[in-house]
A and B are shown apart, each in its own frame.
Chain A
Amino acid sequence: GAGVSQSPSNKVTEKGKDVELRCDPISGHTALYWYRQSLGQGLEFLIYFQGNSAPDKSGLPSDRFSAERTGGSVSTLTIQRTQQEDSAVYLCASSLQDDYGYTFGSGTRLTVV
């Protein structure tokens, strides 16, 4: 596609429910990244996929968070048993090569009530 697409754009969920966030990177981009941005805060690294290599999961805050990338394209970030502190904007980005700047999606605003 023309840009990085994320869905849904907004998600309100009840505490304790599971949520899935989707990212469709730019076609041909081999690297895909998930970041989290809390209100008024910076960007916190979560996970990074590069081609067929094992993902770098070093930023995932707990074992309730997981992500997968199928066929080297679309990625899904799953948060199980959501907590109020999970409320944030989840941003996905992709890049053509490891050396290039990211292109970000518009994000998914997650609100846990």
Chain B
Amino acid sequence: GENVEQHPSTLSVQEGDSAVIKCTYSDSASNYFPWYKQELGKRPQLIIDIRSNVGEKKDQRIAVTLNKTAKHFSLHITETQPEDSAVYFCAAKVEGNKLVFGAGTILRVKS
């Protein structure tokens, strides 16, 4: 079955710096890759997603890139702010239309 690996498990950056989180997947048939942000004690919320027919997508300070050949995708956050501190999960859609999630990255933005 699909396996999604996410790195790093924790990431500390200074406010204003960029943050990059990387994920790899194993199932070449996967075609949809969302990213979720989960603040402490709250529900995961979709922040950006990308489909396999594009290589990059941007939404203000957030961008996602996809390399289908290498089977990896990344989340890029620029000009980080303290409110970006949270746990971020990547995911890949597999056959049967369920999402397999990475283990999560704890992002800490230091002010």
The chain A residue with its CB closest to the CB of B106 is: A40
Query: Which B residues fall within an 8 A CB radius of A?
Result: 32, 34, 36, 42-46, 49, 89, 93, 96-104
Within 8 A of B (CB), among A33-80: 33, 35, 41-43, 45, 48, 50, 56, 58-59
Contact A45 B99 (CB under 8 A): yes
- 25 contacting pairs across A/B (C-beta < 8 A): A33-B98, A33-B99, A42-B89, A42-B102, A42-B103, A43-B44, A43-B89, A48-B97, A48-B98, A56-B96, A58-B96, A59-B98, A91-B43, A98-B97, A99-B93, A99-B97, A101-B34, A101-B46, A102-B46, A102-B99, A104-B44, A105-B43, A106-B42, A106-B43, A107-B43
Residues of B within 8 A of A33 (CB): 98-99
How many residues on the A side are at the interface (Cβ–Cβ under 8 A)?
22
CA A99 – CA B93 in complex, angstroms? 9
Contact A103 B42 (CB under 8 A): no
CA A64 – CA B98 in complex, angstroms? 22
Residues of B within 8 A of A41 (CB): 103-104
